[in-house]
Structure 1
Amino acid sequence: MTSWGLRLFRLHRPLGVLAGAMVLLLIACVFGLLLDDRTLVNAPLWAKPFKFAVSVALYAPTLAWLLSLVKRGRRAGWWMGTVFAVAMGADMALLVWQVLVRDRPLHFNHATPADSTIGNFLATGAFAAWGATAAVVVLLLFQKLPDRALTSALRWGTALAAGGMGLALMMFSASPAQQRVLDGGGKPSMIGGHTVGLEDGGPGLPLLGWSTVGGDMRITHFVGIHAIQALPLLALALVALSRRYPVLSSELVRRRLVWTGAVGYAGVVVITAWQAMRGQSIVRPDVWTLAATAGLVAVVALGAVLSVRAARPSVVPGERHALRGF
């Protein structure tokens, strides 16, 4: 086992096991994508397990690191991490069974009693993982860390990640076509979908599968849940850059830049959700989407400029190294 793997196991063993399992699944998926040409819902059979394995393999060690920063309520944090690991591990096992073994759609599938049962267990695991992440958000509110910029990044990142998980619920509402079947007393084989304005299974981006002809709520979900990595990485990057750019040695400047980055990230989540809900493909934005994006870029740029201007005339000696050891 690598030193990175050993460190992860020391931080949180259940999350370390989950991350290790996802790495193994990821390797299997790579071979599957190269050697197996089967498809499911107009996408490579191994694409969904690949995407989920990548996401969880990133998420588990990030959550373990966040929990290592929890001092108040450490035991509660350990249990929340364990709940997440068990719930997400169970969901990934169901994914492998349903997609790779049974060769059937995983999400929204109500074609048979077995499909519905698997879907219900999957939803239970997802809700448990979301609840555990939300609890970590609350725990981080009561932690005092040596760098306030990183503290802000952690709180914003976990809050946006919890919101990104919650946005997945929007995909489980019946589409207009499915609702007509339900209203007529029928039972559609699929209830819900990630494509807005069209049924799932249409043209999509390579590997990602995001619709190129309609709105796709998976984009917002993906962007939201990975705020938990993006914003802390921004805070750590600012510390690293402070060695070259003295203005970033000010903790106040870094904290305001993190706030600016968080506002920008939240704006991306909102814009992608708004775009998808209007049935618009990510690759075909209309003038309103482009205008909103341009406005967000302008706001973030202005915020960055104002943040840098907040630099203090003198920097407290050694402040730029406040995160040494993180």
Structure 2
Amino acid sequence: MTTTRPLMKATRIHQYGDADVIRYEDAPLPGPAADEVLVRVAATSFNPTETALRGGLLHGFLPVDLPFTLGWDMAGVVTEVGAAVRNFTIGDRVVGRLDGGAGAEYAVAPARLLAAAPASVPLAHAAALPVAGLTAWQAVFEHGRVGAGQRVLVNGAGGGVGGFVTQLASHAGADVTATASARSAATVRRQGARRVIDYTTTPLPEGLRSPVDLLLNLVPMPPEDAATLPRLVRPGGHIVSIATPIPADPGRSVTSRHMVARNDVAQLKELIALVDGGAVTLDITETRPLEHLAEVHRSSEAGGVRGKVLLVP
């Protein structure tokens, strides 16, 4: 006898293309393997890189099987536990970065990729943390090695990653200068930037008082623009970019590193501790129904997304 699997709503793509390929549709309810849990999703959050995945631009190094359920960030409640899972039980509030699948009413996740959600914020808000927070953590502490007294320039502080980068660098004791538009300036200052340069009226290097020790670049740009950035860094200084690679300047001993963030649950737990301790806040700029994901993709590609946008099933 054939058993019909229950259905849920999910945001899926069946082919690569523009935002019109995103479908909010019925999909089979997944079941957890022995080392997985099933989570009732409270929220996922939008990351601009997902527009590149949807368009097929990441297929070379991040291939996915179609149809593919979008969504990397997930916060929710455990509803089913695989036979080998010992660290979570039904009813636990969890958060984590998945390899897709979070943009649905339910998601399965390896238990090793999840952490207990922060207790100090609404569960849905925790979905803003994994991808952007881990990217920022690794840029600031692993690659940038930010410490007290360093002069740091955060180029692109108004985005989801930028807010975390600014807060973490400030928390580490750095003197932070940030670029942001006028609509983001007040938030960026609250997050710890001592100076904010409005890039819409004062393009770099204008507005920068003196060369910095470290440039953290979060902005995609043409190569010719990227080539101008090393002069913003003092001789012997460093550049870390999560977007367009920035050339080094060997003649002035300026090094440059282009990074791609990885999943790291230990670091996620440290971020959660900072959230619960009040050192890091979550900049939730908008909360929308999951069925509006295609509209969020379009808005992002038009430059209309700031901070973190939550999508709630």
Q: Please give the range of the TM-score, normalised by the shorter of the 2 chains.
A: under 0.3
Larger RCO, structure (CA 8 Å, separation 6 or more): 2
Q: TM-score, normalised by structure 1?
A: 0.24
Structure with bigger strand share is 2
Structure with bigger helix share is 1
Q: Which has the larger radius of gyration?
A: 1
Q: TM-score, normalised by structure 2?
A: 0.24
